[in-house]
Structure 1
Amino acid sequence: MIHKTAAFLGASLLALATPALADDHAHDETTDTLQSAEAGGSALPTISFGEWGFDPAYLATDIKPGDDFNAYANKKWIDANPLPPEFSRIGAFVLLGEKSTADVKALVDEFAAKDAAALSADQKRILDTYKTFLDTDAIEAAGLAPAYPYLTRIYGATSLDKLAELWATPGFASPVGGFVTIDAKQPDRQIASISFGGLGLPDRDYYLDTTEKGREIQAKYKAYLTFLLGEGGYRDPAAAAESVYAFEETIAREVAWDRTVRRNRDLTYNLLSADDLAAISGKVPVAAMLAQIGVEKSPGFIVSLMPPTPEEIAANKLDAATLAKIGTGLPGMLALLGETAPATLQAWMAKEFLSAHAPVLPKRFDDARFAFYNQTLQGTPAQRPRWKRAIAETEGLIGELVGKEYVARYFPPQSKAAMDELVANLRLALGESINEITWMSEPTKAEARAKLASFDPKIGYRSNLETYEGLAITAGDPIANRMAASAWARADNVAKLGAPVDRTEWGMLPQTVNAYYNSVKNEIVFPAGILQQPFFALTNDIAVNYGGIGAVIGHEIGHGFDDQGSKSDATGALRNWWTDTDRVAFDKLGDALVAQYNAFCPFDDGKTCVNGRFTLGENIGDVGGLSMAYRAYKIATKGKEVPVIDGLTGDQRFFLAWAQVWRSTQRDENYRNRLRTDPHAPEEYRVNGVVRQLDEWYEAFGVKPGDAMYLPPEKRVRIW
Structure 2
Amino acid sequence: MKKSLFLLPLLAAAVTGCHSNSLKTADADGKPDLLHAALDTTVAPGDDFFTYANGTWLRNHPIPASESSWGIGKEVQNEVYARLRQTSIEAAKANATAGSNQQKIGDFWAVGMDSVKANQLGATPLKAELDGIAAMKTVAEVPSVIAHEIPLGVRALIGPVVYQDAKNSDQMALYLNQGGLGLPNRDYYFNTDSRTKNIRAEYLKHVANTFRLLGQDAATASTNATRVMALETTLAKSSRKLEALRDPYANYHKMSVAQLDKLMPGLNWKTWLGQLGAPALDSVIVGQPEFYQTAGQLLKTNPLDDWKAYLSWQLARTFAPTLSSAFVNENFHFYGTVLRGAKALRPRWKRVLDMQEDALGDALGQLFVKEYFKPEAKARYDTLVKNVVRAFAEHIQKVDWMSAPTKVVALDKLHKITPKVGYPNKWKDYSALKIDRTSLAENVMRANQWQYSYALNKLGKPVDRTEWDMTPQTYNAYYNSSNNEIVLPAAAFAVPGLLDADADDALVYGYAGASTIGHELTHGFDDEGSQFDAKGNLHEWWSKDDRKRFNQRVAGIVKQFNGYTLLDSLHINGKATAGENIADLGGIVISLDAFKKTQQYKEGKKINGLTPTQRYFLGYALGWQMHVRDESLASQLLTDVHSPAQYRVNGPMADVPAFYEAFGIKPGQKLYRPDSTRVVIW
2:105 corresponds to which residue?
126
Q: Which residue of 1 aligns with 2:232?
A: 248
- Larger CA deviation: 556-565 vs 97-106: 97-106
Residue number among 88, 91, 103 corresponding to 2:68 in the alignment? 88
CA deviation profile, 1:386-427 (whole Å, cap 9, x unmatched): 011111111111111011111111111111101111100111
Post-superposition offset of 1:572 = 0.3
Partner of 1:558: 522
Cα distance, 1:663 vs structure 2: 1.1
Give the aligned partner of residue 162 of structure 1: 141
Task: Tell whether the 8 Å contact from 1:358 to 1:365 is kept in structure 2 after alignment.
Answer: yes
Match of 1:232 among 204, 211, 214: 214
Match for 1:214: what amino acid?
Answer: T
Cα distance, 1:278 vs structure 2: 1.5
For the 8 Å contact 1:83–1:89, the answer to whether it is kept is yes
Query: What are the Cα deviations for residues 161-191 of structure 1, in whole angstroms up to 9, with x where unaligned?
Result: 3221121122144311433211010001111
The structural deviation recorded for 1:52 is 5.4
Q: Against the structure 1 CA distance between its residues 245 and 485, is the aligned structure 2 distance closer, same or farther, given a 3 Å change threshold?
A: same
Q: Distance in 2 between matches of 1:178 and 1:49?
A: 51
Within a 5 Å distance, the mapping from 1:83-482 to structure 2 comes to 83-112=63-92, 114-117=93-96, 121-169=100-148, 170-171=151-152, 172-235=154-217, 236-253=220-237, 255-306=238-289, 328-482=290-444
Number of the residue aligned with 1:549: 512
- AA paired with 1:97? Q
Q: Which residue of 1 aligns with 2:541?
A: 577
SS for the counterpart of 2:570 is coil
Deviations 1:480-530 (A, max 9, x none): 212211221222111111110001111111100000000000010000111
- Verify: 1:674 aligned to 2:630, yes or no: no
State the alpha-carbon separation in 2 of the partners of residues 610 and 704 from structure 1: 25
Q: Which moved more, 1:633-642 or 1:523-532?
A: 633-642
TM-score (norm: length of structure 1): 0.88
Deviation per residue, 1:256-277 (Å, 9 max, x gap): 1111111111100111112211
CA distance in 1, matches of 2:23, 2:437: 38
Q: Which runs of 5+ in 1 are unaligned?
A: 1-42, 307-327
Tell me which residue corresponds to 2:14: none
- Once the two structures are overlaid, the 10-residue window that deviates more, 682-691 or 205-214, is 205-214
Give the 3 Å change call, closer, same or farther, for CA 179–662 of structure 1 in structure 2. Answer: closer
Letter in 1 for 2:70: I
Q: Contact conserved, 1:157 with 1:163, CA < 8 A, in 2?
A: yes
SS in 2 for 1:643: coil
| 1-structure distance, mates of 2:22, 2:480 | 33
Q: Is the 8 A contact 2:600 2:612 kept in 1?
A: no
Which amino acid in the other structure matches residue 143 of structure 1?
G
Give how far 1:237 is off: 1.1
Q: CA, structure 1 residues 44+252, in 2 after alignment: closer, same or farther (shift >3 Å)? A: farther
C-alpha change, 1:433 and 1:138, in structure 2 (3 Å) is: same
Say whether the 8 Å CA contact 2:181–2:232 is kept in structure 1. yes
Give how far 1:714 is off: 2.0
CA offsets 1:117-175 (integer angstroms, 9 cap, x no match):
58982111101111111101001112222221111011112323322112112214431
Aligned length: 653
Letter in 2 for 1:154: I
CA distance in 2, matches of 1:368, 1:662: 32
Distance 1:196 1:595, change over 3 A: closer
Deviations 1:603-636 (A, max 9, x none): 22xx211111111010001000111110111133
Q: Which amino acid aligns with 2:87?
A: L
Seen in structure 2, the aligned counterparts of structure 1 residues 214 and 66 have a Cα distance that, compared at 3 Å, is same
1:231 & 1:46 partners in 2: Cα distance?
45
Unaligned runs of 5+ in 2: 1-18
Matched with 2:3 is: none
**Aligned counterpart, 1:311:** none
Note if contact 2:596-2:602 (Cα within 8 Å) is conserved in structure 1. no
Which SS does the other structure have where 2:607 is aligned? coil
Contact conserved, 2:156 with 2:314, CA < 8 A, in 1?
no
- Deviations for 1:35-77, whole angstroms, at most 9, x for unmatched residues? xxxxxxxx99876475255341332222211111111111122
The residue matched to 2:450 in structure 1 has which SS? Answer: helix
The alignment-based identity, stated in percent, is 35
Counterpart contact for 1:524–1:556, Cα < 8 Å: yes
Partner of 2:621, secondary structure, is helix
Give the CA deviation at 1:639: 8.8
Name the structure, 1 or 2, with higher relative contact order (CA <8 Å, separation 6+): 2
The one-letter code of the counterpart of 1:541 is D
Cα separation, 1, equivalents of 2:536 and 2:439: 42
- Greater Cα shift, 525-534 or 168-177: 168-177
CA contact (8 A) 2:477 2:489 kept: yes
Q: Distance in 2 between matches of 1:612 and 1:193?
A: 27
Identify if the C-alpha distance between structure 1 residues 435 and 52 changes in structure 2 by more than 3 Å, giving closer, same or farther.
farther
Distance 1:158 1:564 in 2: 46
Q: Within 2, Cα distance between the matches of 1:359 and 1:471?
A: 21
Q: Aligned with 1:168: secondary structure?
A: helix
Q: CA deviation at 1:542?
A: 0.5
Encode CA deviations 1:84-129: one digit per residue, 9 max, x unaligned. Answer: 10111001122112221122112223334x5415898211110111
Q: Name the amino acid aligned to 1:240.
A: N
Residue 358 (structure 1) shift: 1.2
- In 1, are the aligned partners of 2:122 and 2:324 still within 8 Å (CA)? yes
Quick one: distance in 2 between partners of 1:362 and 1:221? 20
Distance 1:440 1:52, change over 3 A: farther
Determine if contact 1:45/1:81 at 8 Å carries over to the other structure: no
User: How far apart in 2 are the matches of 1:415 and 1:121?
Assistant: 30
Q: Is the 8 A contact 2:509 2:592 kept in 1?
A: yes
- Pick closer, same or farther for the CA change 1:338–1:177 going to 2, 3 Å: farther
Q: CA RMSD in A?
A: 1.9
Once the two structures are TM-superposed, the CA of residue 696 in structure 1 deviates from its matched residue by 0.8
Cα distance change, pair 78–177 in 1 and its aligned pair in 2 (3 A): closer
Give the partner amino acid of 1:160: V
- Measured in 2, the distance between the counterparts of 1:134 and 1:707 equals 53
In structure 2, distance between residues paired with 1:46 and 1:150:
51
Partner of 2:9: none
- 2:423 and 2:110 mapped to 1: Cα distance? 26
1:441-492 deviation per Cα after TM superposition (whole angstroms, max 9, x unaligned): 0111111111101100001110211121210102132222122112212221
Residue 49 to residue 382, structure 1, CA distance change in 2 (3 Å)? farther
CA contact (8 A) 1:430 1:628 kept: yes
Corresponding residue number in structure 2 for 1:501: 463
Change (3 A) 1:115 1:397: closer
Equivalent residues of 2:506, 2:600 under 8 A apart: no
The aligned counterpart of 2:571 is 609
Distance 1:73 1:196 in 2: 40
8 A contact 1:511–1:529 mirrored in 2: yes
Aligned equivalent of 2:12: none
Contact 1:182/1:189, CA 8 A, preserved across alignment = yes
CA contact (8 A) 2:143 2:272 kept: yes
Match of 1:488 in 2: 450
Inter-partner Cα distance in structure 2 for 1:219 and 1:536: 49
2:555 to 569, 586, 591: 591
Tell whether the 8 Å contact from 1:96 to 1:513 is kept in structure 2 after alignment: yes
